[in-house]
Structure 1
Amino acid sequence: MAIPDYQKIMLPLLKYALDGQEHSMREVIGALADQFSLSEDERKELLPSGQQPLFDNRVGWARTYLKKAGLLATPKRGYFEITEEGINVARQSQKEINTQFLSQFPDFIKFKSSKKQDEKISSELDELSERTPQESMELGYQKIRKELEIDLINRIKNISPDFFERLVIDLLIKMGYGGSRRDAGKAIGKSGDGGIDGIIKEDKLGLDVVYVQAKRWDTNVIGRPEIQKFVGALYGQRAKKGVFITTSNFTQDAKNYVLGIDIKVVLIDGQELAQLMIDNNVGVSTLSVYEIKKIDSDYFTDS
């Protein structure tokens, strides 16, 4: 089945705690995953950021909202237990607990009211039927990032070949290759030896080198013949490693070809180029930074 949203998790989570014992989050996540008959892939599915399993995140938010309503308590870090009010609710013939149901509890109303920006905005909790606030934030981030990737690719396709070579140098250096920028600048764009645009140090000591080919193409797709030409040039130099960078894309035949050769060749298309630029802060600047924080339970523990 599909991974349930955090509201559908609330009632099963509350009933799980009916034994009155303290339960760890790890324990309840496994038990509820079994109860919802989640597959291994569903249990391992991650948030857009890749930082946490999606189901774990939703169980965490379900616990948070039940706690805000006074139905659960957290006696110590990573553990929770049911309250008297929670026992009363769990024993009712309730088919589902959601944010609308929780709005009858004064503590939850107070929590809900604190989320309003002004009188015209209704609580976001009623709108998040499937996504937790963290999911919504991460999905929004991924959307912004995807739009930035597209803008970067379009911008790169319109720059001069010389500027593109400098861009490649800047990126490789930011990724830890090339030694100094002066060394890299001398290497890229100077060779032109049978399909090789440049040679760059793999590390600052220059223990090995990487041969580079960079193609600033707009719509033409890089096929197997172009890659074979590059690989042939690598064999001619007795090279072991090569990177082929393009603003375009590679055909599947080209991708399959590099998997069956002895030389290690990495293909970087326009999308991956844009992603690497964003990750390494090349050609982009930071507009805003948002930090997600939580209570430090250790701080509030008596010594």
Structure 2
Amino acid sequence: MTKYSIDEFEKIGQGHRVDIFIVEILKYLKENSGKSDRKELIQYFIEEDDIVPSEWITKEFPGKNGTYKKFDFDFNFAKKELQVSGFLKDIRNVLELSEKGYDLDFQKFNLEQDVKNISAKYWQDKHDIRIAMKKKSKQIEQSPEKETVISEITTDNWREKLSKALHQMSPKKFESFARLLVKNMGVNIDNSKGVQVSNDGGIDGFGYMRADDFRTNRVGIQAKRWQGNIGRVEIQNFVGALSMNSNQAEYGIFITTSYFNKNAIEAARDSTIPITLINIDDICDLVAKYEIFVKPVLTYELDDYYFQD
């Protein structure tokens, strides 16, 4: 398959992009024990995939209610089509190959026949059911594909809201949030070294983490609120700052409200000082894990059984 630039990837249209994601998701799962969550797949697309441009994952587009990511729609359509065609199971946002998926032979795989034709019948059945329901209730018709995928995306809508809220915070409030985040990770900020609120709303500072054997490690911290991906230069600058005699630290934590591109990840791995990279998905995971000003909500989605005669 062709390696696309971000402009080329957008121009090929959503249908073709969904087809690419179908193949790439299957390929990743087949090569990685058949199981993955969304976060691992996103990291794969950013760091390793040689088809999808990494910038596409985080690119935002203007919409009626603010900005949105076309990647979310592409990914969710692809995931749904793999589910209805029997290749994939989605259990609480963990994707796992079904028996049919595990048995898949890519040499014999036909995207149109094995996935698209089957999913087309599913979409048509959903369409017919919703048309009948809306005729009874006299509601305005909406395409079944859009309705279904939007429903799936909103299950993780709190993550999108958190991301936007962090970008809209004042620099001082974001500094407070970053402090609270690293504190829950077990790091105590060293106020004597000074913590600076930078122009991009991030913090630069130092802290200490105590290990189980009572050994204390010095940690350098940086947090950046960026819309675009963090690149190699930002990581190298961070490592350089940590290497100064007055700032020497055993390891560093770099937090961003976006993602790290492939070059940034490689720079962190090659660094003589170990660097922990925390992207927006990791932030959301940590906020949920430590319940930092959030609370879990249990909900249910009705199956088609309730809408069929």
TM-score per shorter chain, which class? 0.3 to 0.5
Report the TM-score when normalising by structure 2. 0.44
Say which structure is richer in strand: 2
Report the TM-score when normalising by structure 1. 0.44
